[in-house]
Amino acid sequence: MRFLTPCLVFSQLVMLTGCGSSSDDTSSTYTSSYIQLYNGSANSANTRLILTDSDDSSYLIGSASYTDATSLVDYTPDTYQFTLSRLNSSGDDVSVLESEIELKQSYKHLLLLSDDYASPDLLHIAFLRDDSLTDNFKLYVANLLSADHSYDLYISNSEQAFADATLVTTLSYQQISEPVEFALGNYKIYLTDAGSREPVFISPTYHFSYLTEYVLVPRLASGPLRGNIAVDIIGNSTTVSTLSDLDAVAQFRLYNSIDNLLNTQVMLNNETLLTELSSDTFSDYVQLDAADYRLTATDSSNAIVIKNALLTLNQGESKAMVLYTNEYNAASAIVVEESLLPQIYDFDINVVNVIADYTALSLYFVAPSQTIDTTDLYISSLKYAAQTAISLPDGEYRVLLVHTDSNSNKTLLAETDFEQFVTGSNYLLIAEPDENYSYKLSLLR
């Protein structure tokens, strides 16, 4: 583990105090000290930031999953011990990193967690909050792309082409730029290999609307479309805006839950995409350009069973489509957006209910030695043809599908065996009829 405190991270323990501002500077507007955590460790869990003061009192700042940030929190300027930690499946707090930080008056302190979560690096950007900005914003760049590569980052007005873009900085891995000011407005971001004029990343237009400091974090995407470049924009809230490459591909896969729909052929925009997709089958991923697609499916006799279902794929998205029988006994489709998080310590499970016999059902995720009454992990009401998602800590679970009647009597409709989730996998859980006039739960990855 390393604790890096740089403006430009050329070596370990190089302290940034304002990127050009004196450490004695203060602001009449921002009179406290301010701290925020961004999680840029691709194989990480949801990570908590805890400060402990000289009186041994501890304060939870917040938590951030991968590519997320905590809120910006103000504290009394002082020296604090801090801990980054995660909760395991038993709810115990597991320390990931511990160190000390001096919170200076009027300064924002942004901690950027990066690299391997088992032995992470922590970058620390500290800058005086600028209350003199009237028409401009300030831009910092923190490079979390590949360790053996340097990149140039350019910015242009949204109406300009790359040829007219301004070079902001050239950075190696974990380097952080000096601030650059631009007028408020709409901009596009570009990345090239250092010294090249050929973009490897072009962002959509982003509106910089606040008189404040923004931190751009170029990184490699994880999850089902790992390897794509993305740029995160960190401001002063817990919301991190992610810019995907305009040339990034998307992907989708399809599950056929209709028992009597055999040898299905699927076409997008009249081009054959999948053939002979049997019932209870999950297709492999298909990569496609970002676009709106018209999906048509035919059965084994070449009769059309679904016509012109809309599938919208944006840059860097991963989606799953579930074919099911709707309330009119016709084939229909539900589209689910898959998580782009790494699925290692926490698993985001997409859940779809295609059982038409009940208004709503409940699902319980039960660890060994637990029951549906003692588990905290459940979906209380999932309606027919609806979808939702639940995040589960890494562990072993069995899933129970339950109907509760108007007298609060419960019926167990289906259950799974105990399952241990496989890291790096995106899961889809389908509550569906089976061919024996009963019900089943299909846990797919």
* Cβ 86 vs Cβ 119: under 8 Å: no
Please choose, from the candidates 435, 443, 411, the residue with its C-alpha nearest in 3D space to the C-alpha of residue 325: 435
Q: Does position 26 have pLDDT exceeding 70, yes or no?
A: yes
d(CA 343, CA 348): 7
Please report the pLDDT score of residue 90 as a whole number: 73
Please report the pLDDT score of residue 12 as a whole number: 31
430 bridge partner residues: 352, 442
Please report the pLDDT score of residue 80 as a whole number: 97
Q: Does position 283 have pLDDT exceeding 70, yes or no?
A: yes
Q: Does position 384 have pLDDT exceeding 80, yes or no?
A: yes
d(CA 42, CA 442): 28
- Residues 130-153 have a mean pLDDT of 94
Backbone angles phi, psi at 296, to 5 degrees: -130, 140
Architecture of domain 249-338: Sandwich (2.60)
HSE, side-chain direction, 13 A CA sphere, residue 426: 24
Q: Does position 9 have pLDDT exceeding 50, yes or no?
A: no
Architecture of domain 341-445: Sandwich (2.60)
Strands 427-433 and 346-353: parallel
- Residues 203-216 have a mean pLDDT of 97
341-445 matches 249-338 in CATH topology: yes
Q: Does position 14 have pLDDT exceeding 90, yes or no?
A: no
Please report the pLDDT score of residue 51 as a whole number: 97
Residue boundaries of the structural domains of the chain: 2-244, 249-338, 341-445
